[in-house]
Structure 1
Amino acid sequence: MTKNTEIKLFGLLGKNISYSFSRGYFKDKFKQLGLDNFKYLNFDLNEIKDFKDVLENNPNIKGLNITIPYKEEIFPFLDKIDATAKKIGAVNTIKFTKRGNLKGFNTDAFGFENSLLPLLKSNHKKAVILGTGGASKAIAFVLKKNNIKFKFVSRNPTKKKEISYSDINKELLLETHLIVNCTPLGTSPNVELCPKLPYQYLSKNHLLYDLIYNPEVTTFLSKGKEKGATIKNGLEMLQLQAEESWRIWNS
């Protein structure tokens, strides 16, 4: 790389993101493509207001990914928001346009949908989404798009489509065959943790999808597998959403 070659910077914006999938993924991608002047950094912020400092100190940023807990808090900092991201209510990708504008997109929905569809069967008509954060909004968007009825499960339900964990019983699980975990429970190193569910009522009819990818098989997925359920972790979703982000940055 010559000294005159401009560094093109990309990165991940979030909080406590040392575990980041994105940084390793894009570092390998840049290496494979021979893009020696491309770099991907983690911007670990205590508060979203610090985003202004990131922009001032890094004028060569070309694109960003956004993760927990800023997928919703980032909205006021954006000049434009893609129609899909606006419908979802969460942004996980920012493109820096040639005019200097920041445009928000959501590629989580793309990643989730394309990794989920091959697994869906005729009985997957109802779902529960564990958690109510930014990622859960993309999941809900995809389920609605594919005519799958769903309810959010929250520790403190306050909205119409929200239920509590204590509401998940045998009767509900007999007719609800898709369970998507959007909580961080079970992420390494706390691998023994899992959402509080009556796992004994799961069966081969169930599909358990965990957005977590580390470990490969979480306790949540393991308990489902024991009952014959189909299981899927979040790695393919992450890979797909990362590639979609890359496409957006370069389009």
Structure 2
Amino acid sequence: MDSQRNSRNKAAVLGSPIAHSLSPVLHRAAYEELGLDDWSYDRFEIDEAHLPGFLAGLDERWAGLSLTMPLKRAVIPFLDQVSPTARAVEAVNTVVFTEDGRAVGDNTDIPGLLAALAERGVRQVESAAVLGAGATAASAVAALARICTGEVTAYVRSPVRAAEMQRLGERLGVPLRTAPWSTAAESFGAPLVIATTPAGTTDPLAAEVPERPGTLFDVLYEPWPTPLAAAWLATGAPLLGGLDLLVHQAALQVEQMTGRVPAPLAAMRAAGERALAGGRGVTG
């Protein structure tokens, strides 16, 4: 470990709601595996109104923060530097405090998603579909900007969301078209489908899964499998779940905050699986 991290050994996840976040389980498992006995990782219920005061109260012992909703955009004005990755989607899920006192924001959801796909052998696709238009959908499009050689189709519920996704595609240089949610089953013809919608939203689509679909990345992880994921699994086609994304983005956070590379992915995944088996964890 470098000297910068010797005096910085505190980290936490912030958000609202936060009580069931799985992040402490994953980060603490990493610390244990890495032998970082003096490191701590906690969770704090913090909304936009209380974020400035919380940040102002942090001392030199803090190494970093993980951020979930509704803070990913709200934190940006308080940072000294924001990575191009985070700027691209206007969302920061990671803050690292440097030795000279700067707060640096990054987004590990995007490289985490790419790492999870690469782990399953998906490194390039000719086209892709995204179900949804929220923050995770934006990260999915940003990831696809790096591995999709053709068109991305986003299936959305409203003209407002469609316009937002089209602007995102233009900003990222992605050939993106939008389609109404009522036609979402058409997405299953794509070689890669990324489902980013809340629990229950894609359940009616489970009956529409074809015999030979491509790869599905369903970012939910509790309950798991979702009906859509179960239908996909029954075909024998490649399937990734929310825990894959959560573990990979958390591993990148651990590396940035502790300076230890690589993070212990296997130990983190095992801890996450145990926690979910016990009914813990509903948010990142």
TM-score of the pair, normalised by structure 1: 0.83
Residue 211 of structure 1: aligned partner: 219
Superposition RMSD in Å: 2.5
Residue 180 of structure 2: aligned partner: 164
Q: Structure 1 counterpart of 2:231, which letter? A: K
Per residue, is there more helix in 1 or in 2? 2
Q: Does 1:53 align with 2:53?
A: yes
CA distance in 2, matches of 1:133, 1:88: 11
Q: Does 1:87 align with 2:88?
A: yes
Task: Determine if contact 1:199/1:224 at 8 Å carries over to the other structure.
Answer: no
CA distance in 2, matches of 1:88, 1:212: 20
Q: Structure 1 counterpart of 2:222, which letter? A: N
Residue 151 of structure 1: aligned partner: 153
Q: Does 1:202 align with 2:191?
A: no
Q: 1:40 offset after TM fit, Å?
A: 0.7
CA distance in 1, matches of 2:193, 2:31: 35
Task: Determine if contact 1:48/1:73 at 8 Å carries over to the other structure.
Answer: yes
Residue 180 of structure 1: aligned partner: 194
CA distance in 2, matches of 1:112, 1:154: 21
> Which stretch of the first structure deviates more once superposed, 105-114 or 207-216?
207-216
Q: Structure 1 counterpart of 2:19, which letter? A: S
1:49-128 paired onto structure 2 within 5 Å: 49-59=49-59, 60-117=61-118, 118-120=120-122, 124-128=125-129
CA distance in 2, matches of 1:17, 1:202: 37
Q: Structure 1 counterpart of 2:191, which letter? A: H
Q: Structure 1 counterpart of 2:159, which letter? A: P
Task: Determine if contact 1:132/1:152 at 8 Å carries over to the other structure.
Answer: yes
CA distance in 2, matches of 1:155, 1:64: 33
Q: 1:8 offset after TM fit, Å?
A: 2.5
Q: Residues 93 and 7 (structure 1 numbering): CA distance in 2 closer, same or farther, change over 3 Å? A: closer
Task: Determine if contact 2:131/2:184 at 8 Å carries over to the other structure.
Answer: no
Residue 190 of structure 1: aligned partner: none
Q: Structure 2 counterpart of 1:17, which letter? A: I
Deviations, residues 150-177 of structure 1 (Å, cap 9, x unaligned): 122222232134332113244x543x23
Q: Does 1:238 align with 2:249?
A: no
Task: Determine if contact 2:209/2:231 at 8 Å carries over to the other structure.
Answer: no
Task: Determine if contact 2:93/2:109 at 8 Å carries over to the other structure.
Answer: yes
Q: Residues 52 and 179 (structure 1 numbering): CA distance in 2 closer, same or farther, change over 3 Å? A: same
CA distance in 2, matches of 1:92, 1:63: 11
CA distance in 1, matches of 2:24, 2:199: 22
Q: 1:233 offset after TM fit, Å?
A: 0.7
Q: Secondary structure at the match of 1:41?
A: strand
Task: Determine if contact 1:131/1:153 at 8 Å carries over to the other structure.
Answer: yes
Counting matched residue pairs gives: 237
Q: Residues 154 and 70 (structure 1 numbering): CA distance in 2 closer, same or farther, change over 3 Å? A: farther
> Which stretch of the first structure deviates more once superposed, 105-114 or 49-58?
49-58
Q: 1:64 offset after TM fit, Å?
A: 0.6
Higher relative contact order structure (alpha carbons within 8 Å, sequence separation ≥ 6):
2
Q: Structure 2 unaligned runs (5+)? A: 1-5, 167-176, 260-284
CA distance in 1, matches of 2:86, 2:129: 22
